[in-house]
Amino acid sequence: MSATEVDFYELLGVTRNADGATVKSAYRKMAMKYHPDRNPGDAEAEARFKACSAAYEVLKDPQKRAAYDRYGHDAFQQGMGGGGGQGGAEFSDIGDIFETIFGSAFGGGNGGGHARARRGADLRYDMQISMEDAFHGKSSEITVEVARTCDTCEGSGAEPGTGKRRCDLCHGHGKVRAQQGLFVVERPCPNCSGRGEVLEQACSNCRGEGRVDREQVLEVEIPPGVDNGTRIRLSGKGEAGPMGAPPGDLYIFVHIKEHRVFQREGTALFTRVPISFTAAALGDTIEIPGLDGESHAIEIPAGIQSGKQLRKRGAGMPVLQGRGRGDLVVELMVETPTKLSARQKEILREFRETETGDECPESRGFFNKLKDVLGS
C-alpha cells in the first residue's frame, strides 16, 4: 500500500477540516496499531505504518497541508511544496509514540536521553495444597531457579575494576535515526541496546548480563481462605533485570487438591450424607466433622426427603482476608435398607398393612394423577 494511492485524510481517518490536535491523535492511534514492532513479519502493516507516517508528515505542517489540499499528491512530486530542510516527523512526536508502545523506553529531552533500565521479568509458580491447608493457611518453602543479580559485578555487567564507556555508534544518545521516505524514525541503538554506554570488559561470571541463574529458597505464606486460582505476589522475587535493572515479581498460583468428602463453592462447603429411612421418617441428629476439626450437629426434621439440603451457618471456609466463614451445606440421601432381619421384615409388613396413603402424599398424588391421565 502506498501513501500516494490513498487520500492522506482517509489514511488517518480524519476529515479535511480536522484541527492539528485531531490529526496528531489519529496518527498516534494508527502508528501504535500498525507499528512493525507490534506486527512482526506483517508487510502490509509495515506499509500502512509508513503511509500513515508520510501522511502525518504532510498534514502536521500548515504549509505542506495547504499545498496538499490544493494540489494533492502532485504537490510533492519533483520537489513541489517540498520536504526541504530537516524533512521528517517531529522527533518529540515519534518519541511520544515509542514511549506509549514500549513503556517509556526512550527518554526525552535535551539531546537525547538513554533508554531506561528494563525491569526483570515476572515469574509464575504453581503450588498445590490440600483443602485443609486452604482452610487453616500454611507457611511453605519453595525452591525456584531464577536469574538473580550477579555477585561478582553486583549487577553492573562489568568485570570488577573496569567500567563503561560511551557508545561509539550513537555517541551516548542511546538511539539512532534512520530516514524513511518523508520522515525520520528513531530506534534504540543496536550497539548499546539504547543505554548509550557499552562495557569496557564484560564480567567473566555473568558475561555482561549482570545476572546469573541460581536456585533460591523462598518462604510463602498461604492465608486462610485461599481458593483455586488465588494469586500471591512476592514483590521483587522474580527475574533480576539486566545490567542492574530492578527485578520483577514472583506470582504464586494456588491450586487446591480435590477433597474426598467436601466440595467447595466460594466460601461454602458441600457434602452428601446418606441417612437411614427411619432417620428420615422419624427425624434425627447427625454429627459432621468439619475442616476446622470440630463436630457440627445437623438436625434432621422428621419426614425429610432424599436430596434435601440442610445448612449449618458459619461452618464453611474462612473469608479470604476478611472476617467470618461461609456455610456447610449437607445434602441428605435417604438409603433404602438392603439387609433386613426376619423381625424387621415382619415390622415393615405390619406397617404396610396399616398404610392409608397419607403417609407418602407425593407418591399417592402421582398415581392419582396417572389414573386421571389414563382415564382408568
CA dihedral sign of residues 313, 314, 318, 322: positive
Q: What DSSP designation does 318 have?
A: B
Q: How far apart are CA 243 and CA 156, in angstroms?
A: 5
The owner of cell 498460583 is 253
Q: How far apart are CA 32 and CA 80, in angstroms?
A: 30
- State which H helix or E strand residue 144 sits in: strand 138-149
- Which three three-digit cell numbers place residue 26? 489519529
Do residues 81 and 67 lie in contact, with contact meaning Cβ atoms separated by under 8 Å? yes
What are the binding residues for Zn(2+)?
A: 150, 153, 167, 170, 189, 192, 203, 206
- Alpha-helical regions (H) of 60-130: 62-71, 91-102
Q: How many helices (H) and strands (E) does the chain have?
A: 9, 15
Indicate the pairing of strand 211-222 with strand 231-234: unpaired
What are the binding residues?
A: 150, 153, 167, 170, 189, 192, 203, 206
Do residues 264 and 270 lie in contact, with contact meaning Cβ atoms separated by under 8 Å? yes
φ, ψ of residue 233 to 5 degrees: the values are -100, 125
Q: For the chain, how are helix, strand and coil distributed in percent, rounded to 5? A: 30, 25, 45
Q: CA geometry: angle at 186 spanning 181 and 188, to 5°?
A: 140
| Burial zone of 118 (CB within 10 Å; 0-12 exposed, 13-18 middle, 19+ buried) | middle
In this structure, the number of other CB atoms found within 10 A of the CB of residue 358 comes to: 7
The owner of cell 567500567 is 163
φ, ψ of residue 55 to 5 degrees: the values are -65, -45
